[in-house]
Amino acid sequence: MFTRRALLVLVCFALVLSLSGSILAAKKVVITYGNFSAGKDNEPTLNAMKAAFEKAHPDIEVKLQSTGYGEYFRVIQTQVAGGTAPDCYELNYENFVTFAAKNVLTDLGPLFQSAGMDFDAYDENALRAFNYKGKQFGVPVSYSVVLLFYNKDLFDKAKVPYPTNDWTWKDVIEAGKKIRALGDDIFGIIQGVHFWEFYKVIEQNNGSLFNADHTKFTVNSPENVEALQYMVDKVIKYNIEPTQAQKSNQGDWDLFSAGRAGMLITGNWAFTYMKENAKFPWDVVVEPGNKRKACHFFSNGLVINKASKNKDAALKWIKWLSSSRESCTLRVNAAWETPPISDPEIIKLYTSQTPPDNRKAVFESLKYLVTPPVVEQFNEMAQIIDVQLQKARDGEKTPKQALDDAQKELEQKIKL
């Protein structure tokens, strides 16, 4: 039997534990995280990341705010303008510069320094994409590159050696001709003639959309006309790339996975699709160039709202999410793009998953990255150029005529 005094001590002890629990609960920091890339396919992985982080940081709770890509940037801009933006959120490179220029993001340099953290875990090229005017306003959380996919069976049948990282446009044309000769419904390559390929292909020819100080469009430069001629010739002159009619509304990935194309220019985000759908051996290499190499680089980064009252907790979350081994392992195993870190264990985990066998080409491509051009009227600029590229692709205009017309319209409607 407990004495009255002993019971009183137990009651007091229980009260102390209860009060302590309440105090600890009250000290838990709740942060909000806005994102667009999880989607329905990767939402379970993001939830697993959140659970792992909260287990390691019991004093922080993360509330996820996931929005579809089509609506996300309109929503986040409205939230920023209204003072209701999440503590931290995801931005792709194309939109990052716009947000950084509006002075609504936190400079992460001082935060990292005060927390005893550094940026050493990140791939240098991926990290640089989120540096604006010398300040690190974001950290990369994932990235993708574009590669040359190739069908080994078609190369073998055409008696053409497999592509290498040293290939040029000339090699693509010559291999494409031999593969095209295999049959009326077999094509050498699928790349597409549109804005998202054009701005990269002109870089391979030492061209650019703008002059050096970004004050004038140079869309119709001789280098750019030559690059567009190469893109159009593959469709019209050599027909190693299918016309729109020859595609018969079939998607590029579907054509390649069905064994109807020897080569395909697309991103490493297609690995899972090809693994599941291509019934032939395939692999990848760094994309061919001409006067130099240039590869697409698409990256999503994490930023902290400048108005956030929970910056320290938000910093712990974005650092863990973007660079911890546990988070990156979850990302790799879910085939959710590529972690932007230099951890040899994560790189080994990524490259060990096949196909393709040559996954190291993803990392080799980082030497030649080209980021999307950024202007305030980006969508309007892209559409103006795209309309003219399609006219060249379909033979309605010569490449020079198309780019001359694009140049004229851009000068009239787009402010640099």
DSSP secondary structure string for all residues of 84-120:
---SEEEEEHHHHHHHHHTT-B--HHHHHHHTT--ST
Tokens standing for residue 278: 């291509």
At 25 the pLDDT is 47
Q: Match domain 17-143+299-351 to its CATH number in 3.40.190.10, 1.10.260.40, 3.40.50.1820, 3.10.20.90.
A: 3.40.190.10
Read off the DSSP letter of residue 127.
H
- As averages over each run of 10 residues, the pLDDT of the chain (416 residues) reads 47 43 64 93 95 97 95 96 97 91 96 95 89 96 96 98 97 98 98 97 98 95 98 98 94 97 96 96 98 94 98 98 96 92 92 96 92 86 97 98 98 95
Whole-number pLDDT of residue 27: 77
According to the model, what pLDDT value does residue 125 have?
Answer: 82
- Cα separation, 205 vs 403, whole angstroms: 15
Which pLDDT belongs to residue 5? 54
Q: Model pTM? A: 0.86
Please give the Cα distance from 370 to 392 (Å, whole number): 24
* DSSP 8-class letter at 361: H
CATH class of 145-297+357-413: alpha beta
**CA nearest to 296, candidates 253, 338, 327:** 338
Q: Where are the domains of the chain?
A: 17-143+299-351, 145-297+357-413
Fold: same for 17-143+299-351 and 145-297+357-413: yes
pLDDT score of 3: 55
Residues 401 and 407: their CA atoms lie apart, in Å, by 10
378 contact partners, CB below 8 Å, separation of at least 6: 94, 372
Residues pairing with 369 in the sheet: 295
